[in-house]
Amino acid sequence: MTTLAVDIGGGTVKVLALDDQGAPVTETLSRPTPAPAEPDALFTLIHDMADTLPPHRRASVGFPGVVNSGVAHNAPNLGNELWRGVRINERLTGLLQRPVRTVNDADLQGLGVVRGQGVELVLTLGTGMGTALFTDGALVPNLELGHHPLRDGQTYENLVRDSELKRIGPAEWTARVLDAIEQLEPIFNYDTLHLGGGNVRHLRAQLPDSVSSFSLAEGLRGALKLWDGV
């Protein structure tokens, strides 16, 4: 049972085929996200990327916004007006000709890395900042913490997003990430914070003992968890 894992980001779309144990059977394929990120253009890109990979029976999609029952409610880094109300599962199932399940992108990656022990918080650092929360392995879906104010009227995402990393450089950006972590710890009293996303590699400091980092391939193992019991 090969599963297609799709990670939709504001800057890139990545796809990976996984075997039934969650091990990659291909290299991760990455392409720039269409600009503007209109649904038709993005879905066509995913279809074309999927066609280059080995056969797969189902697809799991991580989407950068709130998703309920496969329907997008917002997409801050893609364009809210373009995506509000888009039936992602329905559209991609018809295009790919295989069943599709879609969740928030941080939720998907969190499913791939959480241990199911106590309170676990997941942060993904990329175009923006994704967040996911788990208690004893159970997901609290669509936690959009990145859009909550952190300081001086700026949200977490405003301060640690990719454009800020490019503007201020890794050292100051790292200080901001550590400040965000320091603020989150007494709010959630988590047992573990899992830190992922493409920009984790730019951190220039040792992480606290309660914080562990993970790769995209590790996070995308969550693609299988969406189909548990099926």
Confidence of residue 195 (pLDDT cuts 50, 70, 90): very high
CATH code assigned at 62: 3.30.420.40
Decide if 74 is inside a domain. yes
Q: Across the chain, what does the average pLDDT equal?
A: 96
Give the mean pLDDT of 105-114.
98
Give the mean pLDDT of 117-143.
97
Confidence of residue 1 (pLDDT cuts 50, 70, 90): confident
Containing structural domain, residue 189? 115-219
Residue that terminates a domain, selected from 107, 142, 166: 107
- pLDDT at residue 229 greater than cutoff 80: no
11 and 97 together in one domain: yes
Decide if 50 is inside a domain. yes
pLDDT value at residue 230: 56
Confidence of residue 176 (pLDDT cuts 50, 70, 90): very high
162 and 213 together in one domain: yes
Give the mean pLDDT of 204-215.
94
Percentage above 70 pLDDT, the chain: 99
Residue that terminates a domain, selected from 107, 138, 160: 107
- Domain count for the chain, please give it: 2
Q: What is the DSSP string of the chain?
A: --EEEEEE-SSEEEEEEE-TTS-BSSPPEEEEPPSS--HHHHHHHHHHHHTTSPP-SEEEEEESS-EETTEE---TTT-HHHHTT-BHHHHHHHHHTS-EEEEEHHHHHHHHH--SSSEEEEEEESSSEEEEEEETTEEE----GGGSEEETTEEHHHHHSHHHHHHH-HHHHHHHHHHHHHHHHHHH--SEEEEESGGGGG--SPPPTTEEE--HHHHTTHHHHTTTT-
pLDDT value at residue 203: 97
97 and 130 together in one domain: no
Give the mean pLDDT of 121-148.
96
- The 10s digit of each residue's pLDDT in 75-88 is 999 999 999 999 99
